[in-house]
Amino acid sequence: MTQFTVLVTDDDQDIRDGIEIYLKNEGYHVLKAADGLEALHLIEENEVHVIVLDIMMPKMDGIAATFKIREQKNIPIIMLSAKAEDSDKIHGLSVGADDYVTKPFHPMELVARVKSQLRRYTKLGTYQGQQAVIEIDGLALNQEAKELTVEGETVKLTPIEFKITELLMINAGRVFSINEIYERVWNEPAYNAENIVAVHIRKIREKIEADPKNPRYVKVVWGVGYKIDK
């Protein structure tokens, strides 16, 4: 059985140690870093499956670290922050984070988020009865390789971005509401989901559309939701 590795990055040692205890109790291997630079080093030296990343840290903060990580890797990132404003969450998600937890939090909530991200990261494309590659008008999504190409060019998507694209492509022509997308992709009840989903849709468009303001693929049905046409 595979033992997954979680990298916990926070400049507060008590928080690092506390999270480590709960994750180890669930059977995870845990690496710890006190800042973004140390996290980047550990990612290069180890196979990491989920990153828990505080925003406010010395040397290199979580936002800058996420930019660096996303240049090379699509590992799920869960951001931690004492800020609860929607604008802060949107900022974190817009730079490539997959989830966001506001301090203070119960450690078991974070463990549940880690498990959720791992399910998506390791099981993307395992829908039974579905073809391994879905092709729609220049888009090709390989469910087994977790890869998307646009007109033959590979596009780097985060796990959440991939899951949203996969949902829309598998169900091409169907319109999904924001709440439906959130509940299917995040696997939890939708609460204030509009901004979170919209940020990810915008990032997907920026990566796959020649003109994101006039999308060819991911289209909005005003007042209803989003779809990819057949």
CATH 3.40.50.1220 fits 5-125, yes or no: no
Contact in structure between 57 and 36 (CB atoms under 8 Å): yes
CA angle 143, 123, 19 (to 5 degrees): 140
pLDDT digits (tens, 9 = 90+) for 166-223: 999 988 899 999 999 998 888 788 887 888 899 999 999 999 999 999 999 999 998 8
* Domain spans in the chain, listed from the N-terminal domain onward: 5-125, 133-228
Question: In the chain, pLDDT over 70 holds for what percent of residues?
Answer: 91
pLDDT confidence of residue 84: 61
pLDDT confidence of residue 129: 39
**CATH for 133-228, among 3.40.630.30, 3.40.1350.10, 1.10.287.130, 1.10.10.10?**
1.10.10.10
Which residue type occupies 215? P
pLDDT confidence of residue 127: 33
**If you search the block for the tokens 């996969």, which residue do you land on?**
166
Q: What is the C-alpha separation between 124 and 132, in angstroms, rounded?
A: 11
Which residues of the chain register pLDDT less than 50? 1, 125-131
This prediction's pTM: 0.62
pLDDT confidence of residue 125: 38
Tokens standing for 228?
């990819």
Q: What is the C-alpha separation between 86 and 10, in angstroms, rounded?
A: 21
Q: What is the C-alpha separation between 189 and 23, in angstroms, rounded?
A: 24
**If you search the block for the tokens 């490539």, which residue do you land on?**
96
